[in-house]
Amino acid sequence: MIERRPFDSLGGANHGWLDAKHHFSFAEYHDEARMNWGALRVWNDDTIQPGTGFPPHAHADMEIITYVREGAITHEDSLGNKGRTEAGDVQVMSAGTGIRHSEYNREPGITRIFQIWILPTRRGDPPFWSSKPFPKGDRSGQFVGLASGIEGDVDSLPIRTDARVLGATLKAGESVEYRFAHAGRRGYLVPATGKIEINGVAFNARDGAAITGEEAIRVTAIEDAELVLVDAAS
């Protein structure tokens, strides 16, 4: 089954400095039908104004993946990590037993990110943070692992959960196939840009595709498209 969740049906709020859209219940947005998708708990679509951001705050027991779509995000945390992650690149933070961090847009223009939270498969581990560039050219016409806790995904940023986050770029008319890690998985795919079809179901930019009961999907770009996909345990 592939369920389309149109962008205009998402929850969220515009705080001026932050225009946030939520694919799942988050903050003041609560929808019993959209609490999570298997181990996937949060998918936020954030637009952050220049010179603003999230001041220091705490997390624990969550795998947090930030996919930068435009601009850059600057991270600092209580472990002493500092880093700037720019468009096309990815950062991960395993909150573990607890960490405080801040994220700011230090750029002259707006920053747009997807922030994805996935429930960990174990607790009690120390927190860590890392980031990595993922050139879009390397993702042309194929899904590339960005973050993963699945054995064998050696080129992805590590996360402590039975899930992987993937990215792809497609030119109009191109298709790409993806086979889920094993039966019973749940997928959630969002085109950051462009119009696509997934197994014949049409999606616009920033719509959510909630996928279950499918062994594989075939994604075809109607327009040039940039894709982010989560393959997670149920």
Structure tokens at 226: 């940039």
Question: How many C-beta neighbours within 10 Å does residue 80 have?
Answer: 7
* H or E element in which residue 63 lies: strand 63-70
In the chain, what are the domain boundaries? 2-232
Spell out the per-residue pLDDT of the chain, length 234, in tens: 999 999 999 999 999 999 999 999 999 999 999 999 999 999 999 999 999 999 999 999 999 999 999 999 999 999 999 999 999 999 999 999 999 999 999 999 999 999 999 999 999 999 999 999 998 888 999 999 999 999 999 899 999 999 999 999 999 999 999 999 777 899 999 999 999 999 999 999 999 999 999 999 999 999 999 999 999 998
Identify the three-state secondary structure at position 167.
strand
**Residues 175, 180, 181, 183, Cα dihedral to 10°:** -160
Quick one: DSSP state of residue 193? E
| Token pair 């085109």 in the structure block, residue | 191
Q: Model-level pTM? A: 0.96
In 3D space, the residue among 167, 212, 168 whose CA is nearest the CA of residue 188 turns out to be 212
Contacts of 9 (CB under 8 A, 6+ apart): none
Q: Please determine, looking at this structure, whether the domain spanning 2-232 carries the CATH number 2.60.120.10.
A: yes
CA distance linking residue 81 with residue 125, whole number of Å = 17
Structure tokens at 142: 């194929």
In 3D space, the residue among 152, 117, 139 whose CA is nearest the CA of residue 192 turns out to be 139
| Token pair 């989560």 in the structure block, residue | 230
In 3D space, the residue among 175, 48, 138 whose CA is nearest the CA of residue 146 turns out to be 138
CA distance linking residue 157 with residue 179, whole number of Å = 20
